[in-house]
């Protein structure tokens, strides 16, 4: 999208840091925006205890089109993160915009059109197959919105997602307006087909840190036969439950990372590392879930009861990365409430959160989670009497985390400790050596 072209238009508007462009729930709005300069953050339940940041928008982003073209209620709040400049299109100036700015109109239609392809990819189908799959619902909605019919414009649910504004150049602006309405209908149906199942994330909003988002990262389900039903008893409420657990002895290691993550064939075990009791919400890593809880700590049970209505466990064998995040953060909260010495459990959860953010490719949260994991492991290193056999991996993990953050001095300090630790394994010594050599090469 040609930002310089759009910035030259008269319908631009400036917004200051913290100013709200769109309010969630507004039903009388008639504007859409194209972000020209700056950054915007998109939230559900903004400024509430269960606030969730959905995404960040950069220049070129189009937003608010569903309200303008389909009279839909605003589904999120959009807030300026610093000074912002945006092009505003409303029902009063839309036809004039389409008529006088055909190049910008083409870019607008193309941007909205691309969202169908993006949503189709999230559903692991081609855009054409995806559009065909939603055509019935979309055609019915088009008939309601356009009772006079769209045949005169050559628009149907089957082709609206593939047409471009160039098909309408030279015609009246109403044609382009109708085209965008049709594409928005396709997009609306696409989003419905791609709704994330699992947890009601709004209920977990208070658990998530600033910058956490709702992620569309797709995770392949585990291969058949890898999981088994493990019988457990909740140590908090004594509810008998069944958790899906991987058959670790039967798994084949594909690769391992110096930071401690092991990748197995046919399953990503991180999504089965946490057990959540559906009755009392107590959550913990699978390997420590059944450990007894002291009676004094049991008295704090009400502190997690607030999350009970939000727990909707994924279907058996299915994976939802957003549910994995929610269960890990809930387990982290439970360590603080119910464990007298939470340091080691908290560190294990923090490193898993870092691995999971790496899977999302969210650079902001990858960095933030690395810092949090470092703080957690330093606390273990300083305050916990860990066995000698675990010291080397702990030092290597800290060295790797510092390396990722670009703190080479701290990275080398812990990598050298990993090399000289008692009961050191040669494989981990080699990994520490390789990383030290890489740092030296970068520093030259």
Q: pLDDT tens across 285-302, in order?
A: 999 998 999 888 888 888
**From 161-170, 207-216, 402-411, the region with the lowest mean pLDDT:** 161-170
Cα–Cα distance between 62 and 118 in angstroms, integer? 14
Q: Based on the domain organization, do 150 and 19 belong to the same domain?
A: yes
Task: Give how many domains the chain has, as a whole number.
Answer: 2
Is 0.85 topped by the overall pTM? no
- Residue 356: pLDDT over 90: yes
Cα-based distances in Å from 28 to 22, 41, 52, 73: 11, 22, 24, 8
> How many residues comprise the chain?
444
Last residue of a domain, one of 176, 193, 210: 193
Query: Would you say residue 420 lies in a domain?
Result: no
Domain of 179, in residue numbers:
3-193
CA atoms within 13 A on the CB side of 342: 16
Q: Based on the domain organization, do 183 and 48 belong to the same domain?
A: yes
pLDDT at res. 352: 96
Q: Based on the domain organization, do 44 and 183 belong to the same domain?
A: yes
Q: How confident is the model at residue 251 (pLDDT cuts 50, 70, 90)?
A: very high
The contacts found for 150-159 with CB under 8 angstroms, 24 or more apart, are: 150/178, 150/182, 153/178, 153/179, 155/179, 155/182, 157/131, 157/182, 157/185, 157/186, 158/131, 158/132
Average pLDDT for 89-104: 74
Greater confidence (53 vs 402) lies with 402
Q: Based on the domain organization, do 132 and 219 belong to the same domain?
A: no
pLDDT at res. 133: 43
Q: How confident is the model at residue 18 (pLDDT cuts 50, 70, 90)?
A: very high
| Tokens matching residue 208 | 């998530």
pLDDT at res. 59: 87
Q: Based on the domain organization, do 150 and 220 belong to the same domain?
A: no
Tens digits of residue pLDDT in 183-235? 666 666 555 554 443 334 556 667 888 888 878 788 888 888 899 999 999 99
Q: Based on the domain organization, do 170 and 246 belong to the same domain?
A: no
Q: How confident is the model at residue 20 (pLDDT cuts 50, 70, 90)?
A: very high
Output the average pLDDT for the chain: 79
Query: Would you say residue 321 lies in a domain?
Result: yes
- Residue 418: pLDDT over 90: yes
Q: Based on the domain organization, do 107 and 237 belong to the same domain?
A: no
Q: Based on the domain organization, do 231 and 326 belong to the same domain?
A: yes
Q: Based on the domain organization, do 214 and 322 belong to the same domain?
A: yes
Q: Based on the domain organization, do 243 and 131 belong to the same domain?
A: no
CB atoms within 10 A of CB 412: 19
Average pLDDT for 53-72: 79
| Tokens matching residue 367 | 């960095």
H/E stretch holding 243 reads strand 240-246
pLDDT at res. 343: 93
Query: Would you say residue 402 lies in a domain?
Result: no
Cα–Cα distance between 251 and 265 in angstroms, integer? 7
Cα–Cα distance between 265 and 246 in angstroms, integer? 12
Please calculate the CA angle 326-397-275 and round it to the nearest 5 degrees. 25
Last residue of a domain, one of 193, 221, 244: 193
Question: How many whole angstroms from its chain centre is CA 332?
Answer: 18
Greater confidence (267 vs 56) lies with 267
User: What percentage of residues in the chain have a pLDDT greater than 90?
Assistant: 38
- Residue 9: pLDDT over 90: no
pLDDT at res. 132: 41
| Cβ-based neighbours of 155, under 8 Å, separated by 6 or more | 142, 163, 178, 179, 182
- Domain harbouring 18, CATH code: 2.60.120.10
Average pLDDT for 9-36: 82
**From 52-66, 97-111, 343-357, 390-404, the region with the lowest mean pLDDT:** 97-111
Of these ranges, 178-182, 186-190, 305-309, 402-406, the one predicted with the greatest mean pLDDT is: 402-406
Radius of gyration of the chain (CA): 26
Average pLDDT for 142-157: 52
Cα-based distances in Å from 155 to 97, 112, 134, 223: 21, 16, 15, 43
pLDDT at res. 135: 46
pLDDT at res. 126: 37
- Residue 152: pLDDT over 60: no
Q: Based on the domain organization, do 23 and 78 belong to the same domain?
A: yes
């Amino acid at each position: 999208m040609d930002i310089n072209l759009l910035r030259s238009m008269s319908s631009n508007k400036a917004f200051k840091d913290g100013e709200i462009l769109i309010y969630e729930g507004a039903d009388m709005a008639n504007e859409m925006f194209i972000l020209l300069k700056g950054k915007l953050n998109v939230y559900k339940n903004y400024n509430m205890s269960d606030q969730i940041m959905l995404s960040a928008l950069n220049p070129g982003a189009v937003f608010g089109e569903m309200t303008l073209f389909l009279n839909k209620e605003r589904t999120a709040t959009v807030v300026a993160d610093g000074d912002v400049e945006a092009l505003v299109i409303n029902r009063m100036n839309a036809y004039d915009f389409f008529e006088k700015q055909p190049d910008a109109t083409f870019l607008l239609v193309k941007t909205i059109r691309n969202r169908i392809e993006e949503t189709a990819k999230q559903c692991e189908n081609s855009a054409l197959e995806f559009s065909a799959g939603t055509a019935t619902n979309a055609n019915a909605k088009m008939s309601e919105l356009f009772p006079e019919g769209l045949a005169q414009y050559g628009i149907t649910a089957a082709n609206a997602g593939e047409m471009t504004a160039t098909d309408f150049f030279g015609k009246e602006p109403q044609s382009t307006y109708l085209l965008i309405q049709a594409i928005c209908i396709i997009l609306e149906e696409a989003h419905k087909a791609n709704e994330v199942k699992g947890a009601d994330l709004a209920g977990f909003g208070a658990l998530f840190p600033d910058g956490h988002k709702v992620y569309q990262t797709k995770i392949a389900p585990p291969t058949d036969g890898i999981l088994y039903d493990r019988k457990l008893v909740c140590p908090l409420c004594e509810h008998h439950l069944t958790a899906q657990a991987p058959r670790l002895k039967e798994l084949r290691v594909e690769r391992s990372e110096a930071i401690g993550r092991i990748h197995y064939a046919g399953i990503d075990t991180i999504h089965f590392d946490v057990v959540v009791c559906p009755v009392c919400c107590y959550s913990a890593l699978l390997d420590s879930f059944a450990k007894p809880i002291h009676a004094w700590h049991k008295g704090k049970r009400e502190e997690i009861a607030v999350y009970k209505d939000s727990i909707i466990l994924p279907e058996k064998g299915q994976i939802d990365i957003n549910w994995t995040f929610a269960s890990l953060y809930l387990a982290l909260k439970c360590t603080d409430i119910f464990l007298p010495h939470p340091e080691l459990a908290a560190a294990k959860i923090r490193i898993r959160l870092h691995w999971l953010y790496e899977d999302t490719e969210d650079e902001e949260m990858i960095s933030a989670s690395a810092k949090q994991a470092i703080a957690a492991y330093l606390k273990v290193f300083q305050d916990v009497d860990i066995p000698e056999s675990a010291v080397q991996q702990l030092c290597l993990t800290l060295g790797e985390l510092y390396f990722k953050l670009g703190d080479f001095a701290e990275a080398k300090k812990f990598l050298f400790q990993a090399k000289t630790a008692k009961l050191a394994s040669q494989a981990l010594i080699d990994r520490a050596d390789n990383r030290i050599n890489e740092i030296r090469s970068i520093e030259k």
